[in-house]
Homo-oligomer: A and B are copies of this chain.
Amino acid sequence: MNKNRLEAFSDGVFAIIITIMVLELKVPETPHWSEISSIIPTFFAYLMSFIFVLSFWVSHHRMLFKLEKIDVSTLWLNGLFLFTLSVLPFSTGWVGRFPMSAAPEVTYGISFVISNLAFRWLSSNIHAEKTKNNIPDAGYRKIRFEVLTLTAVQAVLTGLGFFFPIIVFTGVSIIAIYCAISQGQINRK
């Protein structure tokens, strides 16, 4: 099975998830500046989720780069991963509306943890395929380490979110910005 259609389909889903989240920025009912301040939390929640989805997209891209044929098992694990991502507009919208409450913050954190676990499962399956076909997979260890660290940090943040809700979103934001900056500078060196 060819990888091109998997990429095209995944890219479509990535693109839709990333832009569907903006629908949570409801057009205000009045023309006053105060409306802007009331959507600021939603705006930042959207920005952070955007960065994370983009970050997954970059990693997804790298992971599939050298692969040509794809197993049906990879197709399904990819589907599972995309499913976990597709719940982000919901959890992002909720945390944007109630950034100070435990339920939305913990849900938001869990949503990222699950996406990372699904991504981890997918990448280990792809790694197995590459090994089977003698394709070098230099970046695998790095991605695995990154994903596992991220998952651990997010899990801890999510746990703390039961007591200090806002810590989840704050932590997720710091990680997101760190990832974007560090990835963006890779090729600069």
Chain A interface (Cβ < 8 Å from any Cβ of B): 1-2, 5, 7-9, 11-20, 22-25, 27-28, 30-33, 35-36, 47, 50-51, 54, 57-58, 61-62, 65, 71-73, 75-77, 79, 82-83, 86-87, 89-90, 93-94, 97-98, 100-104, 107, 180, 183-188
How many angstroms from the CA of A185 to the CA of B72 in the assembled complex? 8
How many angstroms from the CA of A11 to the CA of B48 in the assembled complex? 22
User: Known contacts A12-B11, A62-B1, A72-B187; is A22 also within 8 Å of B97 by CB?
Assistant: no
* B79 near A54: Cβ-Cβ < 8 Å: yes
* A184 near B76: Cβ-Cβ < 8 Å: yes
How many copies make up the complex?
Answer: 4
* B75 near A32: Cβ-Cβ < 8 Å: no
Query: What is the minimal beta-carbon distance from A99 to any residue of chain B, in angstroms?
Result: 9
* A9 near B14: Cβ-Cβ < 8 Å: yes
How many angstroms from the CA of A103 to the CA of B28 in the assembled complex? 11
Query: What is the minimal beta-carbon distance from A90 to any residue of chain B, in angstroms?
Result: 4
Query: What is the minimal beta-carbon distance from A18 to any residue of chain B, in angstroms?
Result: 7
Q: Which of B19, B27, B73, B97 contacts A94 (CB 8 A)?
A: B27
Query: What is the minimal beta-carbon distance from A114 to any residue of chain B, in angstroms?
Result: 13
Query: What is the minimal beta-carbon distance from A113 to any residue of chain B, in angstroms?
Result: 16
Chain B residues positioned under 8 Å from A100 (CB to CB): 31
Chain B residues positioned under 8 Å from A184 (CB to CB): 72-73, 75-77
How many angstroms from the CA of A14 to the CA of B16 in the assembled complex? 10
Of chain B, the residue at the smallest CB distance from A97 is B27
Q: Which 9 A-B pairs have the closest CB atoms?
A: A12-B15, A31-B101, A31-B98, A27-B93, A76-B184, A71-B187, A54-B79, A25-B90, A16-B19
- Chain A to chain B contacts (Cβ below 8 Å), 16 pairs: A1-B65, A2-B65, A5-B11, A8-B11, A9-B14, A11-B12, A12-B16, A13-B18, A16-B16, A19-B86, A22-B86, A33-B103, A36-B103, A58-B75, A72-B187, A73-B184
